[in-house]
Amino acid sequence: MANVVLIGTQWGDEGKGKIVDLLTEWAEVVVRFQGGNNAGHTLVIDGQRYALHLIPSGIMRAEKICVIGSGVVVDLNILLQEIDLLQKQCGRNVLSQLILSDEAHLILESHRRLDQAREQQRGVAKIGTTGRGIGPAYESKMARWGLRLGDLLAPEEVLQTRLRNLLDQHNEMLEKIYNEAPVSFDKVLAELKEAAAIVCPAIKKVPYELARHLKKKESILFEGAQGTLLDINHGTYPFVTSSSTLAANACASSGVGVTDIDEVIGVVKAYTTRVGSGPFPVELEDSVGEHLSVRGGEVGTTTGRLRRCGWLDMVALRYATLLNGLSSIALTKLDVLSGLEVIKVCTAYRLRGEIIDYFPSSIEDLEACEPVLEEFGGWQEDISGILDYDLLPENAKKYVTYIENQLGIEAMLVSVGPDREQTMIRHNPFVMSRDNV
C-alpha cells in the first residue's frame, strides 16, 4: 500500500493523464485536487484515445473510485458531458465510480463570460487562459461569494439566494465594465437543478471518504493538473493558473494529512512545452522546435492551440524538484527526441551578463534570461516499441542518467509513446512503498 501524489513539473501537458491511468492499476482511489476543466489529460488504451478534463484519469478502470476534491472548480455542464461521453465510449455508467466533494466550488456561465471578457480587455497583455472560467471561479471562492456543490443539496431558497447574490455582482461587472449582456438567473438556476438531479447522489464529504479508504490500507493516487510553473504562488506570475498546482496542495485541497503521503512523482516531459502567453527561456522557433511540435503532436487537448516547444530546462526542473519535494520522476515522450543529431539541455540562465542557477520570480527577469545550453549526442532509432530499459540506445540512457543526476532522484518510469503499454516501469511505488523497503 502507498499513497502517491503525481504532479506536472513544467508548464502542464507533461503526460500526467497517461501515467495516472497506468498507475491506477495499483491504487483503489484516484483524486483530482485542484484546477478544473482547463486541464486536458489524454489517455491511449489499445490505440483508442480518450480526453479527460475534469474526471480523474483512473476512470477507465471500472472498479476504481474517482474523487473530485474540494480544491477543484467544477463546471457541471462539462462534468455531465464527460459522464455521457464516457458512457458511450466505455459502455458503462461511470457516475457510480465518482465521489464529488460538497466543498468544491462551481464554475457558472458568468465565470466563463468574465474570463473571456477580461482576456479580451487585456489585449496583447492577455494571459492566454483556456477561457473556461477558472480564474473568476477561484476569485468567487476566495472572496467568499462562491457556490459550492453542497449548495445543490440545500433548500431551494438557500441556493436561489446564493446564486442571486453572485449573479447580481457578475452581471454588474459584465454590463458596466465590459459592456456585455447579463447572464440569465433563471437559465442558470434551471441548469443547476437539472444537473443536481443527476449528480446529487455522488456529492459527499471527501475527507471522511478518504479516511475510510486509508483506514482499510487502500492506496490513493492524487492526480495533479497543470504544472509547477503555472502554480499561483511560485509559477511565472501573472502568467499562471489560479490554483496551487504543487504536491503539498494534494493534501490541503482534498483533506488528508501530509503524513499520509509516501511518494511524490513529478512528471517530466523529455523537452519543454508551454501553452498561452508568458516567459519561456528555452523556447525554440527553428526546425528543432518544429520537430518537437510535430513529432510530439503538441496541440492543446483543451483548446486546440499549438503548444510552444523548447529544450529541457534543468533550472526549472531543479526548482520543481525542491518545490514539490519530489521522490522520483516519470520521464515521458523520450521517443519524440529520436532523429535529432544533437540534444541540448539548459543548465543555467544568463541574466544581463551574469550566470544564474535559480529560477527568477520576476517575469521581467525571466524574459531577459538566455539559456546556457549543454549538448548531448542524439539517437536515430525509433524507440517507441522498446519495452526493456536496457535496450534503449546508449545516448538515450545517458540522457536519462544525466537528468537523474542533476535532480538527485530516479526516473521511476520512462514513457516512449502515448499508449498505456509504451512504458517501462523501473520502480513501482505501490509495490515498493516505504512500508516494505
Q: Is 35 in the site for Mg ion (CB under 5 A)?
A: no
Q: Is 171 in the site for ligand GDP (CB under 6 A)?
A: no
Q: Is 132 in the site for ligand IMO (CB under 6 A)?
A: yes
| Placement of cell 551578463 in the chain | 353
Sole binder of Mg ion in the list 6, 10, 13, 359 (CB under 5 A): 13
| Placement of cell 526549472 in the chain | 316
Nearest-approach distance from CB 199 to ligand GDP, in angstroms: 24
Catalytic annotation, pick one of 21, 41, 151, 291: 41
Restricting to residues 412-431, which ones interact with ligand GDP according to CB under 6 A?
Answer: 415-418
CB 320 within 8 A of CB 228: yes
Pairing outcome for strands 4-8 and 263-269: parallel
CA-CA distances (angstroms) from residue 173 to 123, 179, 180? Answer: 18, 8, 9
Cell numbers placing 67:
474523487
Determine the distance from the C-alpha atom of residue 213 to the mean position of all C-alpha atoms in its chain, rounded to a whole number.
Answer: 24
Query: Residue 38: which of ligand GDP, Mg ion, ligand IMO, none does it interact with, CB under 5 to 8 A by kind?
Result: ligand IMO
Nearest-approach distance from CB 417 to ligand GDP, in angstroms: 5
Q: Is 127 in the site for ligand IMO (CB under 6 A)?
A: yes
Restricting to residues 257-296, which ones interact with ligand IMO according to CB under 6 A?
Answer: 275-276
Sole binder of ligand IMO in the list 9, 24, 38, 324 (CB under 6 A): 38
Determine the distance from the C-alpha atom of residue 436 to the mean position of all C-alpha atoms in its chain, rounded to a whole number.
Answer: 30
Q: Is 21 in the site for ligand GDP (CB under 6 A)?
A: no
- Closer residue to Mg ion, CB minimum distance, 273 or 328: 273
Sole binder of ligand IMO in the list 130, 140, 332, 423 (CB under 6 A): 130
| Residue 13 falls in the annotated catalytic set | yes
The b/e string for 318-350 (b: 16+ C-beta within 10 A; e otherwise) is: bbbbebbebbbbbbbbbbbbbebeebbbbbbbe
DSSP string, 107-137: P-HHHHHHHHHHHHHHGGG-----SSSHHHH
Restricting to residues 3-22, which ones interact with ligand IMO according to CB under 6 A?
Answer: 8, 11-13
| Residue 313 falls in the annotated catalytic set | no
Nearest-approach distance from CB 67 to ligand IMO, in angstroms: 17
Q: Is 40 in the site for Mg ion (CB under 5 A)?
A: yes
Q: Is 32 in the site for ligand GDP (CB under 6 A)?
A: no
Phi, psi for 267 (deg, rounded to 5): -85, 125
Total residues at interface with ligand GDP (CB under 6 A): 22
- The amino acid sitting at 97 is Q
